[in-house]
Each structure stands twice: as C-alpha cells, then as structure tokens.
C-alpha cells in the first residue's frame, strides 16, 4: 500500500497490460471521464506506415473510429475528437488519441492493417477513480468531510488520511453500483485543524488518485450573556481579499438577512443598526460580524456564505452564558444567609457555593424555574464562619464557568455581649467616679469657707487689742 502511494501519488491515467485475447496481446487503457485517452497500436517492426492503410473500429458497432489511407485520415464516428501521432507513423506506430473521453466511449477497439492482416485489440475503460471532496461545518465544532468517487471501475478502495498519512476513522462507506460502475461516498468527522486527503485506489489497475482539503475549525458556539456584544467569526481561511466579494449572514429557520456585504455596500435588514463588520479584516478573507447588545431572541444558528465560491459556514450563537449575582443577609444568632441568583442561563448550569478552600459548602435545595429555553436558579446557603465565599455557575456542555465572590464578616454573639458588658462597666465606673469627684470638690469648698471665717474672726480679734 505504501509503495503504491509512493509510485502513484499523482492523479493520472495509466496504461497497463491486463487482458489477452487469444494469441494477440491486448491492452487496457483506463481514464476518467473527461480525460484524453491514448489507444496504443504499434506494428513493432519500425516499418514506416505513413502511406499504409490502418483502421480503428469499435467492436460491437459498425463505427469507423479512425481511418488513415495514403496519408489521408478521417474519423466519421467521433468527428474532431480523434487524432493520430503523425511523427510516430515512421516507426510503425498507429496510436490514436480520443479527446474528452465519455462513459459511452468505453469498449474494445480494434486497430487493423488490412494489407498485412494484422489486428490489435485495445480495451478502453472510462472508470479511473477520481475523488471529489467537500466539507461541511458542524455546529459545536468539528467538520464533516465528504469524499465522492463516481463512475469508478474497477471498484476502488476509498480512505480519508490525515497530514501524517494515517488513515482516519470514517463512517461505513456508502457503495452503489450502476451499469458496471461504482459510486462511493465516504464521510468522516474531524475535530482538528489541518490538511486531509481522500485517497481512492484501484489496485487492479495500479491507479491511485487523491484530493486534499484544508480544515479550519471554529471553537464551538459563541456564548454571551444578554446585553453583551457578540462576535460571530467567519473566515475563508485563504487570506483572499474580500473587500469586493459578496457575503451574506442569515439566521437559520427565520431565513432573516442579518448582514449583507456587497461591493462596498453593507446592510442589515433584520437587525438594523446593530450589526457591523471588521473593515481591516476583510483584506484577509475575514467576514466576521459583531452584533451589539445581544438579546435572548438573537440566539440561534447563523450561516455565513459566499455565493460566488459556494462556501458556507455555520456558527451558533448562544445567549445564555450563566452569570451569578450574590447577596448576603445578616441573620440573628450569628449566621449569614448567602443567596446566589443565576438568570436566563442556557444550557442549564450547575450552581454551587464554595468556601475559600474551594470546598463545596452545604446549601439548600436550589430553586429552579424555566422560561422558554432559559433557566433561573436561586441557591441559598447559611454560613457561620468569616471568609470569602464564591458562587460558581458551570455550563458543562459549552465549557463555560463563571463565579462571583462575597466576603462574610460575622460579629459573634459572645463578642457582642462582652463589648456591651465592657462598655456598660466602663460607663458605670465613669458615672460613679464622676459623682464621687463632684462630691469631694463640693465638700472641700464648704470646709474652706468654714476655716476662712474662723481665721477672719481671729484676725479681727488681734486688731482690736490695744497697743
């Protein structure tokens, strides 16, 4: 198989001895539809046959395919499609070429020299396998590759191979046979960017042909929350300048025209004023658009197509990225109630409260309600310890996770009483001290007054004594 690949890497047609008819050696020529077929016929004697009559006929018909006589040649059955090789006549070579071989040209041809009575038989098979490849973008990542081989005979084997020449897993091939010809369709889904080849091999005739396709995969759906701006990616992947190439964005099911870019004019009939493209990226074949202020009803599958080249890309817009909102409510008896609300989420998220060690903490049963495709979830938990707590919303299907943090500071009841007691004691002491101080000063004033009067009296008494 490997040797075959090496020997016959290029798509081509080959001539090989396969059949023998009695004692004459015959030849089979395999071409694919539309190719030119060279039917060989040579006397093998190097005799100059420029002026010798030879006749090409198709067996089973009375058709004169090509006749040359004394240098005059004509092809009544296939006018203008048959020619010979003038220079080769000198060497006894009467080969002909049939242009643009059609399925109905298939058959056994005879090349005969009436003067010498020699006849050669050549089989023409218009059945060389030729693969045609297409790719279809899948929603949520992955590309479906399809390989079609038509009108092949003999039956080919068909494989998808990656850039390392490894056969990749494909679906069961769909094979049908019609009029001796085989039709084969082989599909494979790939999830990696790269080049892939569909290889068709017809062992019997040592023929191998292949077609390559380049795969560029987008990373799944675009997920935004309502009110945000969404960028829908679309790129030809060829770096071709598309400033003056028409491309159209439509929304599936609604068939609404979301955005049309045509030689310089842009319009967005379905979402007027809300859609724009990236001017600078057009030069690189990038037809991405931005939708402003996305609403729930904007969610869905969009197609980006290039009518001139027939290329279409699909991208899903999910307006449902979960976004948690957290609140806390102080409770009496030293606990705090945490509440997490996730609104308009799609797909349904799982919601958890986690502590600063990333451990899930015990919560109440979540309250879940639905509105269309969108889910609202409320999750409550009571905590008794100080710290950071996070509400984490996870949407597994779309590999989306968001979180909000809240800081909890609890006044423990013990501490509160202690503070009250200390404050009360301090206040009481202050009051008592105050009263005592006041009373002391009052007493002191009274005593002073009494002493004063006593001294005055004494003084007066001294002054009244005669000298």
The residue ranges that bind ligand NAG (CB under 6 A) are: 38, 40, 42, 85, 88, 93, 95, 139, 231, 233, 235, 278, 281, 286, 288, 299-301, 316
Name which of 82 and 198 has its Cβ closer to ligand NAG: 82
Nearer to ligand NAG, 51 or 325 (CB): 51
Closest approach of ligand NAG to the CB of residue 84, in Å: 9
Residue closest to 236 by CA, chosen among 228, 226, 246: 246
At its nearest, how many Å lie between ligand NAG and the CB of residue 286?
A: 4
Minimum CB separation of residue 85 from ligand NAG in Å reads 4
User: How far apart are alpha carbons 15 and 17 in whole angstroms?
Assistant: 7
Pick the closer one to ligand NAG by CB: 42 or 328.
Answer: 42
How many DSSP H helices and E strands does the chain contain?
2, 35
DSSP secondary structure of 156-204: PEEEEE-TTSPBPP-PPPEEEEETTEEEEEEEEEE-S-EEEEEEEEEGG
Q: What is the CA radius of gyration of the chain?
A: 47
Distance, CA of 322 to CA of 25 (rounded, Å)? 76
- End-to-end C-alpha distance for the chain, whole angstroms: 157
Nearer to ligand NAG, 45 or 443 (CB): 45
DSSP structure string for 99-110: SS--GGG-EEEE
State which residue, 185 or 288, has the beta carbon closest to ligand NAG. 288
The continuous run of DSSP H or E covering 382 comes out as strand 374-383
Least CB distance from residue 404 to ligand NAG, whole Å? 27
- Provide the phi-psi class of 278: left if phi over 0, else alpha when psi is between -120 and 50, else beta: beta
CA–CA separation, 397 vs 76, rounded Å? Answer: 68
Residue number, 254 or 453, with CB nearest to ligand NAG: 254
**Cβ nearer to ligand NAG, comparing 144 with 168:** 144
Question: Torsion-angle region of residue 177: left (phi > 0), alpha (psi -120 to 50) or beta?
Answer: beta
State the minimum distance, in angstroms, from the CB of residue 216 to ligand NAG.
7
- Residue 214's SS3 state is strand
Q: Smallest gap, in angstroms, from Cβ of residue 88 to ligand NAG?
A: 4
Query: How far is Cα of residue 365 from the mean position of the Cα atoms in its chain?
Result: 37
CA distances, 125 to each of 48, 122, 370 (Å): 30, 10, 64
> Least distance from C-beta 87 to ligand NAG, angstroms?
8
Q: How far is the CB of 290 from ligand NAG (least distance, A)?
A: 8
Which CB, 97 or 150, lies closer to ligand NAG?
97
Nearer to ligand NAG, 235 or 378 (CB): 235
Nearest to 28 by CA among 38, 7, 36: 38
Shortest separation between residue 142's beta carbon and ligand NAG, angstroms: 11
């Amino acid at each position: 198989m490997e040797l075959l690949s090496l020997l016959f890497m290029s798509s081509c047609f080959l001539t090989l001895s396969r059949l023998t008819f009695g004692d004459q050696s015959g030849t089979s020529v395999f071409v694919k539809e539309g190719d030119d077929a060279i039917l060989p016929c040579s006397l093998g004697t190097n005799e100059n046959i420029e002026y010798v009559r030879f006749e090409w006929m198709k067996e089973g018909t009375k058709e004169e395919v090509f006749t040359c006589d004394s240098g005059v040649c004509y092809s009544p059955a296939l006018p203008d499609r048959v020619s010979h090789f003038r220079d080769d006549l000198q060497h006894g070579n009467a080969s002909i070429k049939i242009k643009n071989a059609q399925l109905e040209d298939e058959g056994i041809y005879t090349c005969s020299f009436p003067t010498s009575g020699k006849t050669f038989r050549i089989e023409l098979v218009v059945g060389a396998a030729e693969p045609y490849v297409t790719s279809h973008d899948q929603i949520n990542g992955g590309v479906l590759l399809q390989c079609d081989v038509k009108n092949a005979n003999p039956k080919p084997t068909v494989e998808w191979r990656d850039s390392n020449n490894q056969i990749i897993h494909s679906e069961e091939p769909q094979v049908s046979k019609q009029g001796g010809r085989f039709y084969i369709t082989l599909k494979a889904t790939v999830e990696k960017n790269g080049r892939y080849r569909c290889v068709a091999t017809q062992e019997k005739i040592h023929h191998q042909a292949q077609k390559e396709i380049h795969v560029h995969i987008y990373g799944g759906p675009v997920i935004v929350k309502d009110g945000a701006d969404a960028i829908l990616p679309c790129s030809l992947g060829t770096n071709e300048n598309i400033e003056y190439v028409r491309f159209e964005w439509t929304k599936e099911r609604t068939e609404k025209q979301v955005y049309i870019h045509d030689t310089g004019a842009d319009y967005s009939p379905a979402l007027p004023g809300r859609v724009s493209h990236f001017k600078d990226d057009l030069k690189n074949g990038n037809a991405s658009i931005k939708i402003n202020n996305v609403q729930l009803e904007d969610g869905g599958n969009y197609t980006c197509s290039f009518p001139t080249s027939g290329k279409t890309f699909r991208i899903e817009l999910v307006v449902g990225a979960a976004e948690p909102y957290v609140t806390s409510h102080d409770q009496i008896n030293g606990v705090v109630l945490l509440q997490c609300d996730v609104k308009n989420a799609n797909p349904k998220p799982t919601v958890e409260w986690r502590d600063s060690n990333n451990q899930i903490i015990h919560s109440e049963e979540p309250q879940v309600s639905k509105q269309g495709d969108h889910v609202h979830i409320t999750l409550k938990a009571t905590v008794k310890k100080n710290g950071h707590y996070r509400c984490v919303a996870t949407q597994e299907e779309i590999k989306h996770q968001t979180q909000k943090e809240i800081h909890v500071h609890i006044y423990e009841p013990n501490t509160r009483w202690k503070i009250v007691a200390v404050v009360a004691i301090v206040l009481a002491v202050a009051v008592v001290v105050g009263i005592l101080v006041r009373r002391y000063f009052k007493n002191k004033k009274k005593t002073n007054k009494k002493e004063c009067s006593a001294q005055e009296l004494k003084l007066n008494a001294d002054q009244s004594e005669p000298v």
